Structure 1
Amino acid sequence: MATRIPEPAPTSRRPRVHPAWWVAGAAFVALLAAAGFRGAPGALMVPLHEEFGWSMSIMSLAVSINLVLYGLVAPFAAALMDRFGMRQVVSSALFLVALGAGGSVVMTASWQLLVFWGLLIGTGTGAMALVFAATVANRWFVNRRGLVMGVLTAGAATGQLVILPPVAAMAEGIGWRPASLVIGATALAAVPLVWLVIRDYPEDRGVRPYGADPSSYVGPARAAGGALKRATEGLAYATRQRAFWALAIAFAICGATTNGLIGIHFIPSAHDHGMSATTAAGLLAAVGIFDIAGTIASGWLTDKFDPRKLLVAYYAFRGVSLLMLPWLLSDQVHPSMILFIAVYGLDWVATVPPTVALCQRIFGDRGTIVFGWVFASHQIGAAVAAFGAGMVRDVFGTYTYAWWGGAAICAIAAVLSISVTATRRRLPAQPISTQTPDPEARAEAR
């Protein structure tokens, strides 16, 4: 039941820093730590191939399972956070990531790769994913919501790229097993911070969301019903609207052209051109650095401009970059490659804040769970691209056709994004609840 938050007593001492910022900071660290393994397969595939003789196809299949679970678990994770709390779900997710990364050091057969890389780590990262970021932003912030979503998204994306250079260096120097243990230890290290700092709602700290109007803010209606029921009801509601399909397909293309292609296959492709794995990993880490600026800027822009137009620009730049990539790869780093890294980094997950904003505008209180399903399509696209690019490499002996295919589907994503019918006015921001959007918003969304 919704409750109005009383005005604090005149003598109460307000914190200098709103607790929302501490929660956002802890969420950033948790997302950074959990993302470590998501970029690691690109650096570990070559050492595993050399030690066990496993093909790129089987290793790509393990990564594909990881990516699919990372997406499909997301909408259920959003509902579980409503039901049981963010701390419990996120802490459990970090333990699963650590177990999968640490357990992988005892692998002796390729099917075990599917269990550790695919099942355990995929479920663990999926239980957090970007729905965790969206939940924090929607519950704890009214003002600066787009900016916060951009920062948290940067944490999730940058973690998987920044960790690549040390992982690649360890894999080449002392072996891939110590690198896997470091990733597992990083995930475990974030658990105490999550448990001490994160709370489910601002009311748990005796405050309102950051930027909430004291005269009109009403506390959220708490979730009721099982997580499975709420997640499936959210999907059933969303699939009846064309805007959902446009967003989902475009976001699937986003996943295919980031995590699926560049995230997994850039290092093996650069290796084919004579570049060392450590150097290629350093380039991907630079993508992560540019991504921080690009995603935060995208969050700021989302607060001010039409999210659909932003998405069109992002997909267009990405498509042109992929089209040129086969001519840019070589055994040495050169200025044109640096330009590619900068453009792709600024664009890496800049698509997330506009997509979250459109889900919130169109689907109202169900926006976070609906975004969970949209994000699931992102990971399905990534999984298909990860496996498909591995097959292309095995069949043709080159990744060129995979890069060109990615460029072509980026054009499709741009068209789909501008076709989304958004609401004509900005709906009041509300935390997640079991209430449905008002009739006007429902009509406009159709």
Structure 2
Amino acid sequence: MLQRLANLTQDRHYGWVIFALTGANLTVEGGMRNSVPVVFVALRNSFGQSAAATAAIFSAAGIAGGLAAPLVGWLLDRVGPRRLFPLAGVLILLGYWSSSFVSGFWQLFIFYSLIAALGETTISSFTATATLAPWFPKNRGRVLGLVDAGNPLGQGIFAPLAHVLISSLGWRPTFRIFGALFFLMVAPANFLMQRRPPPPETLEPTRYADAAADTSTMANILGRPTVWLLVLTRMFATFGIHMTNVHIVAFFIAAGYSGLQAASTIGAVGLVSLVGRPLSGALSDYLGRELVYTLGLGMQMGAIVLVLLLGDGRSLWPIVIFVALSGLSEGIAGLVVGAKAADIFPSSALGRVMGFIQMGRGVGILAGPILGGLLFDFQGDYRDAFTLAVSVIAVAVVIMWLSRFSTGKSQVPVS
């Protein structure tokens, strides 16, 4: 059996094993990231802190992950995913368990915002793209969209589960349970079965062959305008999306909906995006990355405006439409940007490129939730915060279109 497994590693079909491992990683990442709105309320109530101070825990996690992302990308290119991903599982376990024993609010910035966040970053969408995309050069958008369904699967499972466990056991036991579950889902399987992609010469060329050339050094990579445009579009989209996502449960509760309704909305969005993410990835292969990105973020903006204007705590239909729009568009900001980067850069440099793009995401995660919390603390509602979020997301769309022309080539799908 071991010999058969060894033979399989030499076959392109082993990409589907990598697909399964990547899906499990993203399920954990989705559970960690999308249980934040539920955990946010629990921590704010437990420590008696302001919305801005509590949001700072998650913003700090974002910036820690963002700053570490280039190093994580370099390590991924250097040592490979088989060594790196099990380490991520250990960091997640250590971070969650240590957080559950803190006696002071500030200690969460060490154990959750730093240690657990580094583990989450290591198994997040940017390393998933760098690990999986080289195995499927002809239909990477479709495959990345399919595997990205792991993220909303984690959201659909762990956001409601977090609410149930926190309500019955408290947030500290919930953190211990989650830490153990996440470790078991990540570390053993990746250690046993994770592999590097086939040699680059056996794969299809990238869509922009000239752009893929001369990426042997970081200076050459960072000298390309496309990299920085992708960093910026990731940053602005994340800023706007996380400004709303971290506060959305608190927004719904303040509007008059129950805590269970608010938490279930997050889970429902994740379940709908089980369809939305694969569909978006497949459409981006045929319609182009920029057009699908525009349509997706347009739906995201529409969802925010809808609940801002019509979410009154009495009618459920605004929540239903919010779930549909958000679910069909969730994850597009990272999915399409990652697919575009994989179109342009070879697998030998993709970890580093995605690491820098992830750094932009980290800046957005830092600034968005804190500013949203500050605007709420000053004004008592989320109207200005959510309006600003829509404006910033629109800027991200414009930058994405600029990146199309920075390569000097038209986009032609690989046949």
Q: What TM-score do the two structures reach when normalised by structure 2?
A: 0.87
Partner of 1:285: 267
Partner of 2:360: 377
2:111 to 116, 134, 151: 116
Query: Does the aligned pair in 2 maintain the 1:161–1:284 contact within 8 Å?
Result: yes
Query: Does the aligned pair in 2 maintain the 1:95–1:187 contact within 8 Å?
Result: no
Q: Is 1:399 aligned with 2:388?
A: no
The range that moved more, 87-96 or 51-60, is 51-60
1:182 to 152, 162, 177: 177
Structural mapping, 1:277-426, within 5 Å:
277-332=259-314, 334-364=316-346, 366-420=349-403, 421=405, 422=407, 423-424=409-410, 426=412
1:149 to 133, 144, 153: 144
Partner of 1:77: 72
| CA offset digits 1:83-106 (Å, max 9, x no partner) | 212021111111111111111111
Structural mapping, 1:1-40, within 5 Å:
18-40=13-35
Distance 1:188 1:208, change over 3 A: farther
- CA shift, 1:327, in A, is 2.1
- Amino acid aligned to 1:267: V
What is the alpha-carbon distance in structure 2 between the residues aligned to residue 395 and residue 113 of structure 1?
25
What is the alpha-carbon distance in structure 1 between the residues aligned to residue 385 and residue 101 of structure 2?
33
What is the alpha-carbon distance in structure 2 between the residues aligned to residue 14 and residue 165 of structure 1?
37
What is the alpha-carbon distance in structure 2 between the residues aligned to residue 408 and residue 316 of structure 1?
11
| CA offset digits 1:240-262 (Å, max 9, x no partner) | 3333333222211221233x223
- CA shift, 1:303, in A, is 1.6
| CA offset digits 1:426-446 (Å, max 9, x no partner) | 4979xxxxxxxxxxxxxxxxx
Q: Report which structure shows greater RCO (CA 8 Å, sep ≥6).
A: 2
**What do you get for the CA RMSD once the two structures are aligned?**
2.9
Query: Does the aligned pair in 2 maintain the 1:158–1:289 contact within 8 Å?
Result: yes
What is the alpha-carbon distance in structure 2 between the residues aligned to residue 89 and residue 376 of structure 1?
18
Query: Does the aligned pair in 2 maintain the 1:270–1:280 contact within 8 Å?
Result: yes
SS in 2 for 1:18: helix
What is the alpha-carbon distance in structure 1 between the residues aligned to residue 49 and residue 338 of structure 2?
38
SS in 2 for 1:424: coil
SS in 2 for 1:163: helix
- CA shift, 1:158, in A, is 4.1
Distance 1:391 1:95, change over 3 A: same
Partner of 2:196: 200
- Amino acid aligned to 1:67: G
1:163 to 158, 164, 167: 158
Query: Does the aligned pair in 2 maintain the 1:34–1:97 contact within 8 Å?
Result: no
What is the alpha-carbon distance in structure 2 between the residues aligned to residue 198 and residue 364 of structure 1?
20
- Amino acid aligned to 2:75: L
Query: Does the aligned pair in 2 maintain the 1:271–1:277 contact within 8 Å?
Result: yes
What is the alpha-carbon distance in structure 2 between the residues aligned to residue 104 and residue 29 of structure 1?
23
What is the alpha-carbon distance in structure 1 between the residues aligned to residue 118 and residue 29 of structure 2?
11
What is the alpha-carbon distance in structure 2 between the residues aligned to residue 161 and residue 58 of structure 1?
27
- Amino acid aligned to 1:327: L
The range that moved more, 110-119 or 129-138, is 129-138
- CA shift, 1:148, in A, is 1.7
What is the alpha-carbon distance in structure 2 between the residues aligned to residue 139 and residue 309 of structure 1?
23
SS in 2 for 1:106: coil
Query: Does the aligned pair in 1 maintain the 2:18–2:194 contact within 8 Å?
Result: yes
- Amino acid aligned to 1:99: L
Distance 1:395 1:136, change over 3 A: same
Query: Does the aligned pair in 1 maintain the 2:125–2:335 contact within 8 Å?
Result: no
Greater share of residues in helix: 2
- Amino acid aligned to 1:416: I
Alignment length (residue pairs): 396
Distance 1:326 1:168, change over 3 A: same
Distance 1:141 1:176, change over 3 A: same
Consecutive unaligned residues of structure 1, counting only runs of 5 or more, are: 1-11, 217-228, 430-446
Distance 1:424 1:328, change over 3 A: same
What is the alpha-carbon distance in structure 2 between the residues aligned to residue 333 and residue 88 of structure 1?
50
- Amino acid aligned to 1:43: V
What is the alpha-carbon distance in structure 1 between the residues aligned to residue 165 and residue 366 of structure 2?
26
Partner of 1:99: 94
SS in 2 for 1:54: coil
Query: Does the aligned pair in 2 maintain the 1:165–1:285 contact within 8 Å?
Result: yes
Distance 1:202 1:15, change over 3 A: closer
- Amino acid aligned to 1:248: V
Query: Does the aligned pair in 2 maintain the 1:273–1:331 contact within 8 Å?
Result: yes
- CA shift, 1:342, in A, is 0.8
Partner of 1:438: none
- CA shift, 1:157, in A, is 4.7
| CA offset digits 1:254-301 (Å, max 9, x no partner) | 21233x223311111112122222221110111111212111111111
- Amino acid aligned to 1:79: W
2:83 to 83, 88, 112: 88
SS in 2 for 1:186: helix
- CA shift, 1:396, in A, is 0.7
- CA shift, 1:73, in A, is 2.1
The range that moved more, 328-337 or 185-194, is 328-337
What is the alpha-carbon distance in structure 2 between the residues aligned to residue 243 and residue 13 of structure 1?
36
- CA shift, 1:184, in A, is 0.4
Q: Which has the larger radius of gyration?
A: 1
Consecutive unaligned residues of structure 2, counting only runs of 5 or more, are: 1-6, 206-214
